[in-house]
Amino acid sequence: MTDPALEDPAEREVLQRMSGLDRFLPVWIGLAMVAGLLLGRLVPGLDTGLEAVRVGQTSLPIAIGLLAMMYPVLARVKYEEIGHITGDRRMLWLSLLLNWVIGPALMFTLAWVFLADEPELRTGLIVIGLARCIAMVLIWNDLACGDREAGALLVAVNSVFQILAYAILGTFYLAILPGWLGLDTQDVQFSTWDVTKAVLFFLGIPLIAGFATRRIGVARRGKTWYDDVFAPRIAPIALWGLLFTIVVLFALQGETITSEPLVVALVAVPLLIYFVVMWFSAILASHAIGLPYPRSATVAFTAAGNNFELAIAISISVWGITSGQALAGVIGPLIEVPALVALVYVSLWLRRRWTWAKQP
């Protein structure tokens, strides 16, 4: 039986354009997890060595990995074209609604429904819900034949929103809203300023660096060279940073993950529900307002994905590397990658069959 993707020119072009690192990302992430688990068990004193040098509360190797993940993505964004996104205000407003109103509220609800008696894991899940995806979403968007330009622009918008609003929303969902609802939050200790510092460091630095890199690169060598030569050259740094960070985190948290599978299940269930509900809500809402398939797919994957890199960085900076909050962040990619890969296949199935998907 012939693979439908090989018969579709657009899907065939996407596969040809992607590197082996991108195309087999789930495999590499799985291998990184296994490598981390083995290192944690076979190398005595690894945790002490990794924690020897810190940036604030964060191990220096992890900080380097987190920054490496986000810089190439933010250096690819065409900041000079952000104003063009208003050409389709339906997409912009729908994306903002899904990412900054519905998404955090849904994750807050799921965290309290499934983890009411697990305050650290509950807090970690809420932290994940507030971190909107700005890295791997571009890979899912490419695989699903989404709109690349719209994806890059929404990533830029979400990056700016996270810097401006993350700490405020974190305080609201972790302290203010639970108080209004009469929920007990005495076991949730955090500092709004600590959250702000983590966001400014782990997102602000790569955002400024990415913006400056593009401005300087385009000014000196031109847009064609920057987009076709330089940006593809630095793109693998993000995935290598992701894989390195996963190895380190699983080396440190691997014993807990393998010895307490119930913890993984407790976090996995609300995450799976979140991914499915957000993706289908976004794709159906996009269809309802008349967006063509490429932009519908972009909105759906932007809404369903989360910035686990930032969530992990904040959890480590505020609560420590061995905290339950950090553990929830580490489990996140373990669940997100297979879930969103499956949704890529669902998206391509819809693309081939739905009439609205054929719109230009």
Q: pLDDT tens for residues 27-52?
A: 888 888 889 888 877 877 776 776 66
Question: pLDDT band at residue 358, thresholds of 50, 70 and 90?
Answer: low
State the Cα–Cα distance between residues 147 and 261, nearest whole angstrom: 38
Q: Which residue has the higher pLDDT, 232 or 188?
A: 232
**pLDDT, position 122:** 94
Question: pLDDT band at residue 17, thresholds of 50, 70 and 90?
Answer: low
State the Cα–Cα distance between residues 73 and 71, nearest whole angstrom: 6
Q: What is the DSSP string of 238-259?
A: HHHHHHHHHHHHHHHHHHHHHH
Short-list 213, 258, 260, 247, CA closest to 62: 247
CA 266, chain centre distance (Å): 20
Q: Which residue has the higher pLDDT, 69 or 18?
A: 69
Lowest mean pLDDT among 129-138, 270-279, 294-303, 344-353: 129-138
Judge whether residue 5 has pLDDT over 50.
Answer: no
Report yes or no: 206 and 71 within 8 Å, Cβ to Cβ: yes
* Segment 249-258, tens digit of pLDDT: 788 777 777 7
User: Which two three-digit tokens encode residue 47?
Assistant: 């945790």
Highest mean pLDDT among 127-141, 273-287, 330-344: 273-287
Judge whether residue 215 has pLDDT over 90.
Answer: yes
Question: pLDDT band at residue 103, thresholds of 50, 70 and 90?
Answer: very high
Question: pLDDT band at residue 318, thresholds of 50, 70 and 90?
Answer: confident
Judge whether residue 22 has pLDDT over 70.
Answer: no
Phi, psi of 54, rounded to the nearest 5 degrees = -130, 155
Average confidence (pLDDT) over 275-292? 94
**pLDDT, position 2:** 43
State the Cα–Cα distance between residues 185 and 140, nearest whole angstrom: 36
**pLDDT, position 301:** 96
Judge whether residue 360 has pLDDT over 60.
Answer: no
Q: With b meaning 16 or more CB within 10 Å and e meaning fewer, what string describes 108-134?
A: bebbbebbeebbbbbbbbbbbbbbbbb
Inter-axis angle of helices 261-288 and 231-259, to 10 degrees? 140
Average confidence (pLDDT) over 342-352? 90
Please tell me the CATH code under which domain 57-353 is placed.
Answer: 1.20.1530.20
Judge whether residue 56 has pLDDT over 80.
Answer: no
Q: Domain extents for the chain?
A: 57-353
Cα dist from 279 to 20, 343, 349, whole Å? 26, 8, 14
Report yes or no: 63 and 238 within 8 Å, Cβ to Cβ: no
**pLDDT, position 19:** 61
The CA-CA-CA angle for residues 272, 101, 203, to 5°, reads 80
**pLDDT, position 102:** 96
Question: pLDDT band at residue 1, thresholds of 50, 70 and 90?
Answer: very low
Q: What is the mean pLDDT of the chain?
A: 83
Phi, psi of 46, rounded to the nearest 5 degrees = -65, -40
Q: Which residue has the higher pLDDT, 135 or 211?
A: 211
Question: What percent of the chain is modeled with pLDDT above 90?
Answer: 29
Residue 135 DSSP code: S
**pLDDT, position 87:** 52
**pLDDT, position 6:** 46
For residue 298, what are the β-bridge partners? none
Q: Which amino acid is at 357?
A: A
Judge whether residue 187 has pLDDT over 60.
Answer: no
Average confidence (pLDDT) over 186-192? 66
